[in-house]
Structures are given as C-alpha cells and as structure tokens.
A and B are shown apart, each in its own frame.
Chain A
Amino acid sequence: MSDEHGPEPARNESEQSEVHRGLSRRGFLASAAAAGGAYFLGRFGPASAQTPTISEDDIVVPDDPTKTLGMSLSQRGLRSPFVHVQRQINDPNAPLGAAGWTFSPLQDLEGTITPADLHFERHHSGVAMIDPAEHRLVVHGMVQQPKQYTLWDLERMPQESHIYFVECSGNSLAGYPGGDADSTAQSIHGLVSTSEWVGVPMRHIVEDVGLDPASTWALFEGSDAAVMTRSVPVEKLMEDALIALYQNGEPIRPAQGYPMRLILPGWEGNMQIKWLRRIEFGDAPFYTKEETRHYTDRLPDGRSRQFTYAMEAKSVITRPSPGQGLAGAGRWTISGIAWSGRGRIERVEVSTDGGSTWEDAALLGESRTRSTVRFHHPWEWDGEEAMLMSRATDDTGYVQPTREALLEVRGPDYTYHYNGIQSWRLHPDGTLSNGYVDA
C-alpha cells in the first residue's frame, strides 16, 4: 500500500509480530519430523497435500521470495499475513452474541466494493443457516395467484445486476449524542457496505402472481429466529427492488441472507429482509415492531416520524482516520467514500481547516445511483494541527449537512439516519481523533 504522495501511514507494531517468517505455525511442527524446512512445506509437505484448502497456519514468508518456491495451489484464497482487516463486533445483548452488529473496516478498504466476508452485519436473532432445497419463497395476499418459489425457480427468472450500498439506518448514530474520543471510521460509520447484487427484480414476481392494483404495501418476512418483518410500499417494489441471490459474484453468504434477500436500493438496511421466506401484499402497512418500536425517529416535540426510508447523502474520510496516522509533514492523499440513497453523488468537497475553505475532490471511477463512490484528494500537510472534513452533494442538489445543523433540527433523541459531516482532528504528532470531541 505504498503511497506516491508520501511515506506510508504509521503501522501498528503488533501487525508484524503475528507474521510467521521462515516457517508456518503448522510447518514448524511438521518440520521437526520432516527436517525439510520451509522449502518443502509449500509444495510437497504433508499439510498441503492432505488439505488443498490452505489455512493461515500454512503461510510461510521467506526472506527472499525469488529464491524459494511459492506456496501451493489452493481451493480458496487467503489474505496476506501483512493485511489485517476484520469487522468490529458490538454485542449489546452479551453474552447472547446474536442480536447486535459488526462494523466493516472502512479505514482498511479502498475502492467501493466490500469483500463479502467484511460486509457489515446487523442481526436481531443470529445468522440463519438454511438448506436451499427446503426453502420456499411464498407470495400471497392481494394477488390473483398465490405462489411459492424455490431458489431454482428464481434462478430461471430474468435477473439484473446492480452495485448498491446497504446501510443500517443506525449507522453513524454516535454523531447524535457527541462523539467518543476513541471512535474510528469503522466504529462510527462501519455499518455501510457496497456489493454487486444479482437477482430477480421484484416487478417480475409482482407480474407473475398478478398483483391486485389496489395493493399498496407488502410485508416481507425472513426465515431467521426473529422471523424479521417489515412493510414496504409497492411503489418501491416496482421501481428498483431486487430479490438478490448473488453478492459480489458468489451466492449470498448466510450472514447476508442466503439463499435470498430483499434489496431496496438506497433505503435503510433493516427493511432489506434477509433469508426471505414470505411476501404478503396488502393495502396498509403492517406496523411491525421494527417500524413502530424501532426505526422510528423521535423529535424534540415528543412525536415520532414513521416510514423514513431513504439514507440521505453522506461521506466520510477513511484515510487518514483515527487509528491510522501520518508519519510526518508532506504530501498525502485524503481518501474516502460518499453515497446517497436518493441518487448519484455529483460532488465531494474536502476541507482541511475545519470547514472554512473547501476544495473539490476527484471521484474515482463511475458514480452510480444509490451506490458508494470513492474520492481522493491530494494534500500537502504542513505538520500543524488540522481538521479534515468531507461534504457530499447528490444529483438531487442535496448537500450533506453539518452536525450542528442536523442536531438543531432533530434534537437529542433522534437515533437513526445520521448523515452529518464527520470531522477528524489531525494532531501535530500525526495521530487523529474524532473532531467532535474537544482536543
């Protein structure tokens, strides 16, 4: 990850110590018997011959990779032992471990696609494990012909491919009550991920069952232990909803709803029911727990907004951000992501002086509707304290608001849909912290 604009960000000491140099962990044990050393282990050693799937324990880092045969072919790939990327678990109902969330490591990722195993998680009753042969999607209610579909039925229907983000509506909520000095891009904003989703547009299902034109809402229900339910307006289903079967080229993983999940581009993640088993069409919302007790927005006057769906435009600088650091003054690239649930990101601006002046950042690659776009901004750091911010504008003309403006309107009890500008305070020693906490 060398950076043409300057030295590498400071690295965590512990990263190096876990890497096995010369011998793998498994190889070390084997070598006592084989007396062959590292040379044999990758290609001929007992570990790789018996287990074509290579594990982290097999990894060997030779002093000179041009003088040692590399590791063997394998059925599934591994990350480099020098790359440490993992989700951060938040288990509010510990020790249950099944109702909570994991944050995606935003500061360690580049581009826009989130590797499927690093996609954020938000489960209410754990990850359902489903045998597709036993699974049916049942569609009924205000339809001419109630039907049930297997995974293989859906495979035979016309499909589409789209790159969309999914964001938990509670993402970034740390911004409401005031930040935490230890918080990072991951622990504040890591409940957003972007994938290529391939699946059947809902409008094909709607046609297949013959929807009653008087139907305006549908209940979507998951086959997990929460039997999660949300009501979705038919209007959205006809516009761009997908029953997704594939994520980033492979069948959706269990944590994301295998064998099938709902994708509602740009809308809050909770509605995008995973492990989908049932769709019931009706003419009113179903007022499930997740659209009454939760996922409603409490206002200062005591009232609560209900059915607030779109995730509005947001951006965050992921590099540099807290936990990383700049090794010294000089040229750096400020990198981040921006997204909007209402359309396409048109513009991202970056400020390094706490919002006094702004400059346009470069958007990398195509900016797609209801997807993330990567921005980069080259910057010369003078070594003084700086306040780094980014601000997104989408193609509806909406500009990401400041935190102050957001709190002014929404007050202290609003929990969801936070999209205020994030600021990172860069200290003269090169470390960073949340800009909303007094230095």
Chain B
Amino acid sequence: MTSRRGPLADTGSQLVRWLMLGGLALFALALVACDGDDDGDGTATATQATASPTPTEDGEDPEGTPAGPGPEAFTTPAPGEGPRSGGEIGEPASEDVIAALDIDVVPGGAGLPDGSGTVAAGSDVYATNCARCHGATGTEGGIGPRLVGEEGPWEPGKAITIGSYWPYAETVYDYIRRAMPFDAPGSLSDDEVYAVVAWLLAEEGIIEDDVELNAETLPQVRMPNRESFFACWPEECRPDVP
C-alpha cells in the first residue's frame, strides 16, 4: 500500500492528525477506558491491533506506517486528507499522461503504433505465446476459444472465428495488444502484435503470406464479414418482438 498522506499529515500537529485519521483508534481506546471488565492487555491489545494505527507516546507512527483507516475501513478520507484537497477538483492531464494510457486502435488505423510484423514472424509469436491456450494451429481452441479456420461472411450454423466474424482488423490488433496473452497481457512488443495479427489473418486466407503489416497496410485489410453489421443506435432495432 502506498501512503496517501494529506498535507496535514506532513505538517500538522499530531493531535489534529489523531482526531482526523485516528478517530477509530481513539474511539476504541475510549471504550477500553470505560470497560471495568478490562483485565489488562488482552482486550485492549486486540482492539488496538485492529483499529489501526495507534500513535506511540512520542507521537511517531509505529513502523512509520501512514495514519489513516485500515484497509478494511471506508477509504473515504477525512476532510482535508487526500491529494490536492481543497483546491481545484482534478488537474490538467498532460500529453504524457494521456499517451501512456491511450492505446486504442480504431477502424481507419488511428492509434496504430510504429513498427511492423510478418506472417513468418507471427507464426513463431503464436507458437510461443498463444498455442498453449488456443491450440497448435488456432483452429482447435482449448483453454481459450478457437481463433481461426472458418471463412466469412458469417452465416447461421458457421463457427465464429476472426475470419468469419470480426469486422475490422484494427480491432484484432487493439484487442490482442491490450488483453493477450491472457496470463501476460501487454507483454508483446508492438512488432510482435503486428506479426501475430498477420499470421492469424493469413491463416484465415484474408492476406497473402508475404504481406507485412504496419500502420499503413493493416487499415487496408478488408474483413469478409464487415458489411454484415448494422447499427441499432441512435435508430433502435428493438422492440422487435410483437
């Protein structure tokens, strides 16, 4: 856990800090003090241990832990606690902050990173990172769903694969980069993602084996099921059942 000390915790008197952040502890101590049955350490220790943390006599935190409610208590800070409290609500998000999160890739190719990947390289990427869950050739499935091996456009009765159903190659790139491999998301380089997407599309017969995918070529890929989708917003398609 990272400390979320407010300005008061850094500068203010320990008394104020107790009142604001150690309310639980004080309350617990008060209870102990009123409890005629208290037989010494037993009850008090148990109570203190859970109403964390209690300042020591010299006002220092035991073990330097931040004052504040324990992880089981409500995380709502007391008034005055929390980063930048009292001032503006929120702060401007810098370009760097945005760039670090802004990973979506959309139809048309906006958001595609630099780099490239070949079908041949993708075959290796797949075997190393994907086959154990999706099957040796991607047609089998296993722990994860089947990925390839059916031609589009989709029609009733057909299996759903990248080739038979997905409308945009950009979405394949976006999804694999953000969420796969399932147990190590984000571990592939951008080039490896280009490569494995190229291999999957080549397996589906959508691109030739010698095509290299990059930010220019990937948006040119036409997925066979693309025209089968129609939007039900803002014009709704339901209610549809009389």
Contact = CB atoms under 8 A, between A and B. Distances in A.
Contact of A226 (B179, B231, B239): B179
Interface in A117-160: 124-125, 131-134, 136, 138-140, 145-153, 155-157
Contacts of A405: 241-242
Given A49-B46, A96-B182, A286-B106, A303 B228 contact: yes
Contact of B101 (A259, A277, A303): A277
The secondary structure that dominates the A interface is loop
Given A225-B179, A251-B74, A307 B231 contact: yes
A55 to B, nearest CB: 14
B82 A293 contact: no
Interface in A348-405: 398, 401, 405
Nearest to A76: B72
Interface of B: 1-4, 42-43, 46-47, 50, 72, 74-77, 81-85, 89-93, 97-98, 101-104, 106-107, 143-144, 153-157, 160, 165-168, 170-171, 174-175, 178-179, 182-183, 185, 228-234, 236-242
A312 B238 contact: yes
A53 B90 contact: no
B171 A292 contact: yes
Contacts of B91: 147-148
B78 to A, nearest CB: 11
- Find the residue from B101, B167, B185, B230 having the highest chain A CB count within 10 A: B101
B229 A125 contact: no
The secondary structure that dominates the B interface is loop
A146 B90 CA distance: 10
A184 interface: no
A288 B157 CA distance: 24
18 contacts: A49-B42, A93-B144, A93-B182, A133-B1, A138-B93, A138-B97, A147-B93, A148-B93, A149-B89, A152-B77, A229-B178, A251-B76, A278-B102, A280-B102, A303-B229, A304-B154, A306-B230, A307-B232
A409 interface: yes
A300 B228 CA distance: 12
A34 to B, nearest CB: 14
Contacts of B82: 150-152, 155
Given A94-B143, A405-B241, A306 B182 contact: no
A112 B232 CA distance: 30
Contact of A131 (B2, B50, B97, B240): B2
Given A153-B89, A155-B76, A292 B101 contact: no
Interface string A314-349: 000000000000000000000000000000000000
B167 A287 contact: yes
Contacts of B178: 226-227, 229
A125 B182 contact: yes
A302 interface: yes
Contacts of B171: 287-289, 292-293
A17 interface: no
A149 B229 contact: no
Given A75-B72, A308-B236, 6 more contacts: A96-B182, A138-B93, A155-B77, A306-B231, A312-B239, A413-B156
B90 A140 contact: no
A342 to B, nearest CB: 9
B177 to A, nearest CB: 9
Given A125-B179, A219-B104, A413-B156, A49 B170 contact: no
Contacts of B4: 132-133
Interface string A16-60: 000000000000000000000000000000000111110000000
Contacts of B143: 93-96
A270 interface: no
A251 B178 CA distance: 27
Contacts of A179: none
A147 to B, nearest CB: 4
Contact of B89 (A138, A208, A278, A289): A208
> 9 tightest A-B contacts by CB?
A152-B82, A307-B233, A133-B4, A289-B175, A227-B178, A149-B90, A146-B93, A302-B155, A401-B241
Contacts of B85: 152, 156
B154 A302 contact: yes
Interface in A64-109: 75-76, 93-96, 98-99
Contact of A412 (B90, B97, B156, B160): B156
A305 interface: yes
Contacts of A50: 42, 46
A153 B81 CA distance: 11
Contacts of A412: 156
A298 B154 contact: yes
A296 interface: yes
A49 to B, nearest CB: 5
B92 A145 contact: yes
A244 B42 CA distance: 41
A413 B160 CA distance: 11
A396 B174 CA distance: 39
A127 to B, nearest CB: 14
Contacts of B155: 302
Contacts of A49: 42-43, 46
A153 B89 CA distance: 5
Contacts of B106: 284, 286-287
Given A93-B144, A152-B77, A140 B175 contact: no
B101 A153 contact: no
Contacts of A146: 92-93, 98
A309 interface: yes
Nearest to A200: B89
Given A138-B98, A208-B89, A251-B76, A226 B43 contact: no
